[in-house]
Structure 1
């Protein structure tokens, strides 16, 4: 107000004291902004208590539970928390602590490191905590932090549950590595405490029980796990099917998952090929793991979906094929390829749901079946595979005739398998996938051997994580590759170059060429991407005859490779992958009923145990395989000399010797009568 009412004539004058005052206030404001409290993580705020509790506030600010430190007036939420803190102290110091009092509201520990010594020295260390009616928290009431003993590796309170708690996470990740002997070594090396092998074995067993209980709880929340997949990977298709048992519980029946990014990638940048196979589960939930895979631009496997069923039958295969049909838009199968083994339920399911699909049979399984019947005929393998690798009708007939000349019975069995369903010569043109076996899917199943031994949800997470990491690694490979085509093309053309370099090429009109190789003549058309051998049309990569023309014309062979094997397509294969998921703690709660494992019939488990017991001894030829044999009677010993029971030949000889001695001591009747005479 005083400044507003000043004299107009003195407008230009500046009060030096007012200027100093303003600068002082500005510095004060800047200091306040500069001294703004920093954001700290895992640090408790300062205590609002009286000044006489400054020491306790200081400890609460800088110490956290689990660091192995104890102090007077330290608080705990429960007696168990106090006991765990004492265990952490014992691990840190290596002192031999023992619990001397355990009531519902009082717990005490003391050091017994000097007990039992001849000089009678006693350690004074002691800690005592209690909860009082006037105080709702457990608090250390007495703490004597003075040791008169030296740690010797012994700790009475370090028992099985504490060992299990220390190693439960490690055993969960690698149960085969953390065996009792390894646990014993780590405890002695890490904490300088000696434990017995039996303690470590019991601790490992208890940890496995905790882990099993944890996985059982996760299985009961299978619907929440499905919701987590849809939440972390929007648009994904997840199915959890259950059946109600007599008690009204939801018992697991089938599970299916298809991640949205995998589905979009397969539709956008993968060849129209799907390989299907099933393998057994080895965990608590018995059944089959069904897997569907595609092929990327580098001709490597690309997982697209998987599911679990209790039994590999027609009904479950129909259900799985329906899921694939819905997710990947297969319709009636026209223009798509499916590779599988000769499982009857799968063949029927494909026939019902995808009647127009090109369903190829795996040659490896066909050879396996033939080998069982004709095991002594070693030429079956090369003859059968040469037939499968035939690229045209002429080669097919020639190689089929070789089998007929080799053995008519083998030829008849081969014809029953319908060779046209697994020979390259009869594959549809345009798919550019020359597979005649299902080894890619079987190799993927082989990589899941360890996963199939894990509990159900953990197995699903392992499969998902493997697929996620596989895609991430190949994304780096594809995006750093500099060639026009993928490495698979380079390897393919390297094999063709050996024969292409010696081919004789003759030029014709209309972009056609005549190629002489191995006594045969082939017609190649570069503009139409065709060769009379049909290998180029089936593979999508130039054959040796086409490659010979390319060398003759000094052209670039990569320009004649189909689009499916280009690096640009390979990058599109691995642009989007599976998004990471959260742990069970963060799963959304669907409020759905719990899922339980179907229990086997009462008599089935007994039959399995009986079968194992029967395997211990070899049954006789006329022995019934199912009838339980009566208990054997006690064996009666017979003498090998006289044939009498209850003694053997050794005892028989001794008896005979004693009888002969007694007879010699007494004269025989005939001798006595002879003397008298």
Structure 2
């Protein structure tokens, strides 16, 4: 039995003291509270060649239908000879009746084998009496007067702090920030027409949070059992829980990694060879970093592959994470694969060690952020940087680089130091059909799990897996209902090019080669090789505007010339197989491994707090000695008589002081030294 269940079993609806012979309350309270609302928010496809509207990476809170607050309880029906399994069940039924009717019910009898409730209104005859049946060990209603002679006045003595805490336990667990005391007070009045005080709601919320913390602590200690649950429910999945031994010989949490078998197999068989890797901070009780590796589906949307939790985002932890992803996905030395990330030094070094042959692209969004930090006043810099990154060929790259140079020489020099060959399309390898210049997919993923990141470790991992499962299920329906030859991403992509493609002038050659002219420039297009001298078709796998113009001239279907990665058949394969749901903590396999204890809070970025034991640094001219007499101060002199050790205020009093005694207001040298 969990700590939360024991705590809840000790909660009484009444506040009357127990008799000495009362039995211990060990019956488990049963709650019929509503499940969490669907947390998953579907994200749009990853779009290209659009300058981000905002440079901020702040997470946005998603509004999720909070107006529909439904806390389900029993029907509240009571009648004579009604049978209950135990006294807890009877008390819950009376509470349900009070909530349904809004009556002011109070308990007047509490015994080992007898319980009684009555209406607290003056002159009202409603009452109910229940006791243990002589024929069985069950509780049975012996007396019941069901008619009230009073009216509802918004008062109910049964609505104590523990009861309110139980009613909103699941809601507070899901959204602790939203369900504040004022909101709880409003909902109780709105749903049950019962008036409670704000301090009651505050105490109830704190009690519920206390129960939730105990529940989460138990789950954290059983994180190894949670890993076994993943392996048993999804065979073939990789789960690693790394711990360290502290001074007391206990296992302290260090790192966690998971890669579900269905995600791994689907990425290897049906997704383009691209991975976006990034880390984000955890916001809940457990501090640290969440590391993720994401792919792309046929609709150019996010496809989660693997994720892990580490204490600090540093070189050793990135090396460990990259090594796990490499082993699970079979990347070998990285040849033929693409990885996009920011310029985190530990990650760059880990990729160089584990995947030396991979095409490692840098995120332009982060590069622009660094440039903006050094050149913040130059507001017109943004389009120059992004146009440079979007250059599909070296000629276009040189033109955009020259424009940047003419705009500002300092920005140009900093751009060249960042090695544009790592983030410009003109230098991308051909054949992967990936045109991404930014790592926005991981940023989008981090936003979709922002609520999960506010939870403790195990609930966070459960929620991330649940969101991935729901996402795959929704995308499966969407992909299998789509009727087009290509995915919606391609249809929208081609729709934007249609207008310019109609302006292309086409001149035929042999071997299905054509000369396409647009805006005074000529391009060589080959339908057999599916290439264009602008290199956009070669990189994206989708016909560029010049090739589209040729296809229109020949009255061909443009979808036939789209790369197979963007076909609807491939999209359906992406979401044919999903995750097997994970069971709750009560169903986890119970192992013999020792419990896992939380690790000390890792150092966080920002200004470090100075320890109270650390004394301040002494000034340049301050003596280093700890114990030293105070320095002598300037000796004051009287403005009237000119004598020392007194001023004009005490001039007259000094004359009255006997010889040998210091006058009032004087400070002797002995007094200063002491």
TM-score, normalised to structure 1's length? 0.74
Any stretches of 5+ residues in structure 2 without a counterpart? 1-72, 613-619, 623-674
| CA deviation profile, 1:36-89 (whole Å, cap 9, x unmatched) | xxxxxxxxxxxxxxxxxxxxxxxxxxxx99845364695654x55554444345
Change (3 A) 1:71 1:515: same
Q: What residue is the counterpart of 1:335 in the other structure? A: 336
Matched, 1:432 2:410: no
How far apart in 2 are the matches of 1:66 and 1:553? 71
Change (3 A) 1:406 1:453: same
How far apart in 2 are the matches of 1:601 and 1:514? 61
What is the CA-CA distance between 1:194 and the residue it aligns to? 3.0
Asked whether the 8 Å contact 1:387–1:399 carries over to 2, the reply is: yes
How far apart in 2 are the matches of 1:552 and 1:449? 49
Query: Higher RCO, 1 or 2 (CA under 8 Å, sep at least 6)?
Result: 2
| CA deviation profile, 1:636-655 (whole Å, cap 9, x unmatched) | xxxxxxxxxxxxxxxxxxxx
Matched, 1:125 2:127: yes
Change (3 A) 1:100 1:579: same
Q: What residue is the counterpart of 1:69 in the other structure? A: 78
Q: What residue is the counterpart of 1:371 in the other structure? A: 372
How far apart in 2 are the matches of 1:510 and 1:493? 25
Q: What residue is the counterpart of 1:321 in the other structure? A: 322
What is the CA-CA distance between 1:491 and the residue it aligns to? 1.9
| CA deviation profile, 1:206-262 (whole Å, cap 9, x unmatched) | 122222222222222211211221222111111111112222222211111111111
How far apart in 2 are the matches of 1:73 and 1:410? 82
Secondary structure of 1:449's aligned partner: coil
Q: What residue is the counterpart of 2:6 in the other structure? A: none
Pick aligned residue for 2:118 from 99, 111, 118 = 111
Change (3 A) 1:186 1:335: same
Asked whether the 8 Å contact 1:536–1:543 carries over to 2, the reply is: yes
What is the CA-CA distance between 1:144 and the residue it aligns to? 5.8
TM-score, normalised to structure 2's length? 0.74
What is the CA-CA distance between 1:283 and the residue it aligns to? 0.4
How far apart in 1 are the matches of 2:518 and 2:126? 98
Does 331-340 or 454-463 show the bigger shift?
Answer: 454-463
Q: What residue is the counterpart of 2:145 in the other structure? A: 145
What is the CA-CA distance between 1:552 and the residue it aligns to? 2.0
How far apart in 2 are the matches of 1:251 and 1:286? 14
Asked whether the 8 Å contact 1:245–1:251 carries over to 2, the reply is: yes
Q: What residue is the counterpart of 2:95 in the other structure? A: 87
Does 313-322 or 200-209 show the bigger shift?
Answer: 200-209
Pick aligned residue for 2:106 from 90, 98, 105 = 98
| CA deviation profile, 1:523-556 (whole Å, cap 9, x unmatched) | 2221111221111111111112212221222222
Quick check: which has more Rg, 1 or 2?
A: 1
**Normalized per residue, which structure has more helix?**
1
How far apart in 1 are the matches of 2:508 and 2:144? 103
Asked whether the 8 Å contact 1:70–1:85 carries over to 2, the reply is: no
Does 353-362 or 525-534 show the bigger shift?
Answer: 525-534
Q: What residue is the counterpart of 1:550 in the other structure? A: 551
Q: What residue is the counterpart of 1:446 in the other structure? A: 447
Change (3 A) 1:191 1:391: closer
Q: What residue is the counterpart of 1:508 in the other structure? A: 509
How far apart in 1 are the matches of 2:407 and 2:305? 42
Asked whether the 8 Å contact 2:76–2:95 carries over to 1, the reply is: no
- Give matches, 1:147-546, under 5 Å: 149-151=149-151, 152-546=153-547
What is the CA-CA distance between 1:364 and the residue it aligns to? 0.8
Does 492-501 or 281-290 show the bigger shift?
Answer: 492-501
Secondary structure of 1:243's aligned partner: strand
How far apart in 2 are the matches of 1:89 and 1:397? 78
How far apart in 2 are the matches of 1:549 and 1:296? 28
How far apart in 2 are the matches of 1:432 and 1:199? 60
Change (3 A) 1:206 1:519: same
How far apart in 2 are the matches of 1:601 and 1:88? 46
